[in-house]
Structure 1
């Protein structure tokens, strides 16, 4: 079980880090042109970059507390926060008719739920 939780946290951390770095450092106009990134065209630059920084912090929060043995309770807290972020992403993509991304966000939400449950039990 512990191995599965580490694998799930590592996968989700990689997803969060990639998304966070992209949102933080890639220009908004470039993001708006890629599939699934159209929502950034209507969002403010500050909002997109803030989401990016939060995703980078989530990547750290999913792995580092347990790896370092410092405040490991932050892992399930981060996972719960990620589920809320994915719920918002699902709503945003659903409103835009991007149902493949809704499904992808649902998968990420389920993985985060598994991490939260597994690390709290």
Structure 2
């Protein structure tokens, strides 16, 4: 019986897709929270202007950090750190929503958390990208 293993190239492509999804999501969320918070449909946004701005900055940095260091091959470990930052951010967001009685709304946070864990593990152990 032979076990077929994914090629490093295929795994690398999957990691790039995961990074792209995280980057698009967090850059969009960051821009919306910073520049258009009134357009966000979330109940917690109203009355929490400083928190919205604060999380928007972190979202934007996470979105940039999860993609550009590996894409440009400059300080590639920053991608791993960004993935860990997203993990912490999603845990904090889940706790925040649970504390507000919004536990039903954390599915997206858990999904992003799992993708960030996958990227952190993949770029650290399975398919690291080195600096130029």
TM-score range, shorter chain: 0.7 to 0.9
How far apart are residue 91 of structure 1 and its match? 1.1
**1:55 and 2:55 equivalent?**
no
Conserved 8 A contact 2:19-2:66: yes
Conserved 8 A contact 1:39-1:92: no
Within 5 Å, give how 1:7-86 maps onto structure 2.
Answer: 7-28=17-38, 30-31=39-40, 34=41, 37-43=42-48, 45-86=49-90
How far apart are residue 9 of structure 1 and its match? 0.4
More helix by share: 1
Q: Which runs of 5+ in 1 are unaligned?
A: none
Q: How many residues matched?
A: 115
**1:2 and 2:5 equivalent?**
no
Q: Which runs of 5+ in 2 are unaligned?
A: 1-10, 126-132
CA distance in 1, matches of 2:71, 2:79: 10
2:101 match: secondary structure: coil
Runs of 4+ off more than 3 Å: none
Report Cα offsets for 1:51-102 as digits up to 9, x if no partner. Answer: 1122111111011001101000000100000000000111112223333421
Q: Relative to 1, partners in 2 of residues 1:2 and 1:56: Cα closer, same or farther, differing over 3 Å? A: same
CA distance in 1, matches of 2:69, 2:27: 16
